[in-house]
Amino acid sequence: MIFEGDIHLGAKILTELIATEIKMNRSLTFLFLILIVVTGCNNRNSEAYNPVINEKTEEKKEIATKIHSGKKLMETQCYICHSPSAAEKEGRIGPPMIAIKAHYIDDETTKEVFTDAMWNFLKNPSKDRAKLRGAVRRFGVMPYQPFKKEEIVQIAEYIYDYQIDEPSWFKEHWENGHKKKRKPYKNNGKIAAGVSDMTVKDVGLSYALGTKKVLGKNLMGTIQAKGTLEALTFCNEKAYPLTDSMATQFNATIKRVSDKPRNPNNKANIEELEKIEYFKELIANDKKTEPVVEKKNGYNQFYYPITTNTMCLQCHGEPNEQITSEVLATINSLYPNDLAKGYKINQVRGIWSITFKDAKNE
Ligand code: HEC
Ligand code: HEC
């Protein structure tokens, strides 16, 4: 919920915030916000997002009145890499979901066969079993992520039973982008109820977790392939540009800030410091942490804690214990004013501070 511990928020503002949040969640303005956020302010693809209910579709298609649970799961867990709004050539980190539907489902495929095929791939993604050869060449095999089977089943059901969002470039790409002529793909199914039930919090969280995944994947990859020392250079040179490029993709401002920054540019401001204290208290007391969202002049300001695990301590733990002397020397020379040492696991290392726009200001 809204950040209730914030003493600087007057009761009136708080009530207003709650009211706007509730209104926003339910209203069409919110749908519009989602559309803009997802399409990155780019209306080029908007026809792909507004399932136009013309007479033709109306006689044939069933329009779902209830939102399918798989829709939201897909939007929060898969769209970060399988977004239907990313451009064909640039900035994409994976194929749009329709490409997966097109490769996995033909006239003969039953829902069970599709669900099993998808789960079989996701529980252990590998090059041999990938059906999207072109995508593997371009993006590499999908990185393994510990998804829950029951959630994948719901996502598969949604993809199978519903028309899913597809980028406007996809049809052309499918028909003409390959040497061998392909059978037309199908995007059959019910039309999803119009209003997405992604709350502002869900949107912010999908940005934070998405950026974390991309950062984490790169960092882990570098540590494994080249060691901690080399990974340090990665953090030093690449962390910021990466966050920045994720921000461009989402049309948002994404910051990782800390009360004890390594890089002085990542120093938390007063409001962010308050949130850090708030999250620290929750985590110290084993309480569940929910994102905090505040509204400011038509912007959503989103906060979510970044906590430490064992891996982090190689660079953020005790000097000469978890941080080897070699790594320590490099840290100290790159960051003479480093404050980000001495952490233990499951502590608040900092927060995501993400700003994204409201529809009203577009
Ligand atoms: C971190 C990025 C990322 C996330 C998150 C992600 N994927 Fe993927 N996925 C990829 C990439 C890259 C490919 C293309 C390469 C490949 O096919 O392995 C892919 C391919 C796939 C494929 C096709 C595999 C094949 O080639 O046969 C399926 C199915 C799939 N993803 C399902 C999902 C589902 C469902 C979710 C959400 C629960 C999801 N993915 C989330 C990156 C991601
Ligand atoms: C290989 C060394 C290394 C590892 C491992 C590492 N970090 Fe860092 N971290 C750095 C460096 C270097 C910076 C400064 C990056 C910059 O200059 O922007 C940094 C910066 C950060 C920041 C931004 C705030 C600040 O202090 O400048 C956060 C938050 C952060 N790290 C969290 C983590 C977490 C959480 C983990 C574990 C999941 C982790 N780090 C693992 C080296 C590392």
pTM of the model: 0.55
- Packed helices 97-104 and 111-122: angle between N→C axes, nearest 10 degrees: 120
8-state DSSP, 123? T
Q: Are 167 and 45 in contact (CB under 8 A)?
A: yes
Q: Are 100 and 164 in contact (CB under 8 A)?
A: no
Give the Å distance between the CA of 83 and the centre of ligand 1. 11
Round to whole Å and give the CA distance between 37 and 298. 13
Atom of ligand 2 nearest to the CA of 240: 18
DSSP 37-76: HHHTT-GGGHHHHS----HHHHHHPPBPSSPPHHHHHHHH
In this prediction, residue 32 has a pLDDT band, given cuts at 50, 70 and 90, of very low
pLDDT surpassing 50 at residue 89: yes
- Ligand 1 probe mutation, 79, 104, 142, 211, most atoms within 8 A of CB: 142
Beta bridge partners of residue 350, listed in sequence order: 306
In this prediction, residue 197 has a pLDDT band, given cuts at 50, 70 and 90, of low
Q: What is the pLDDT of residue 65?
A: 54
Q: SS3 helix, strand, coil % of the chain, rounded to 5?
A: 50, 10, 35
Give the count of alpha carbons within 13 A of 304, CB side only: 21
Give the Å distance between the CA of 143 and the centre of ligand 1. 8
> Is residue 117 in contact with ligand 2, taking CB distance under 6 Å?
no
User: Quick one: which ligand is closest to 76's CA?
Assistant: 1
Give the count of alpha carbons within 13 A of 37, CB side only: 30
Residues 203-232, mean pLDDT to the nearest whole number:
78
More confident residue, 269 or 17: 269
In this prediction, residue 216 has a pLDDT band, given cuts at 50, 70 and 90, of confident
Look at ligand 2, atom 32, and give the residue with the nearest C-alpha: 349
Distances from the Cα of 139 to the Cαs of 91, 279, 321, in angstroms? 11, 36, 38
User: Quick one: which ligand is closest to 260's CA?
Assistant: 2
Residue 298: alpha-carbon gap to chain centroid: 22
- Domains, the chain, in order of start with CATH, read 61-193 (1.10.760), 200-361 (no CATH)
Model confidence over 242-296: pLDDT tens digits? 777 667 666 778 889 999 999 999 999 999 999 999 999 999 998 888 899 998 8
pLDDT surpassing 70 at residue 347: yes
Distances from the Cα of 44 to the Cαs of 51, 167, 320, in angstroms? 15, 9, 54
Model confidence over 115-142: pLDDT tens digits? 999 999 999 999 999 999 999 988 888 8
User: Quick one: which ligand is closest to 314's CA?
Assistant: 2
Model confidence over 38-74: pLDDT tens digits? 322 222 222 222 233 333 333 334 555 567 889 888 9
Give the Å distance between the CA of 235 and the centre of ligand 2. 6
In this prediction, residue 237 has a pLDDT band, given cuts at 50, 70 and 90, of confident
Atom of ligand 1 nearest to the CA of 151: 38
> Is residue 212 in contact with ligand 1, taking CB distance under 6 Å?
no
Q: Are 300 and 200 in contact (CB under 8 A)?
A: yes
Residues 90-113, mean pLDDT to the nearest whole number:
90
Residues of the chain with pLDDT > 70, as a percent, come to 76
Sign of CA dihedral 236, 241, 243, 244: positive
Give the Å distance between the CA of 288 and the centre of ligand 2. 23
In this prediction, residue 193 has a pLDDT band, given cuts at 50, 70 and 90, of low
On average, the pLDDT of the chain sits at: 76
pLDDT surpassing 90 at residue 145: no
Beta bridge partners of residue 304, listed in sequence order: 352
Atom of ligand 2 nearest to the CA of 351: 29
Give the Å distance between the CA of 35 and the centre of ligand 1. 22
User: Quick one: which ligand is closest to 83's CA?
Assistant: 1
Longest dimension (CA), the chain: 71
3 state DSSP class of 181? coil
> Is residue 246 in contact with ligand 1, taking CB distance under 6 Å?
no
Look at ligand 1, atom 42, and give the residue with the nearest C-alpha: 142
> Is residue 262 in contact with ligand 2, taking CB distance under 6 Å?
yes
> Is residue 131 in contact with ligand 1, taking CB distance under 6 Å?
yes
pLDDT surpassing 70 at residue 308: yes
Distances from the Cα of 317 to the Cαs of 232, 260, 305, 342, 349, in angstroms? 14, 13, 18, 5, 11
Q: What is the pLDDT of residue 88?
A: 78
3 state DSSP class of 109? coil
Residue 238, C-beta contacts closer than 8 angstroms, at least 6 positions apart? 218
> Is residue 77 in contact with ligand 1, taking CB distance under 6 Å?
yes
User: Quick one: which ligand is closest to 229's CA?
Assistant: 2
Q: Which two tokens stand for residue 236?
A: 């030093």
pLDDT surpassing 50 at residue 7: no
pLDDT surpassing 60 at residue 215: yes
Q: What is the pLDDT of residue 34?
A: 30
Atom of ligand 2 nearest to the CA of 223: 1
Q: Are 312 and 304 in contact (CB under 8 A)?
A: no
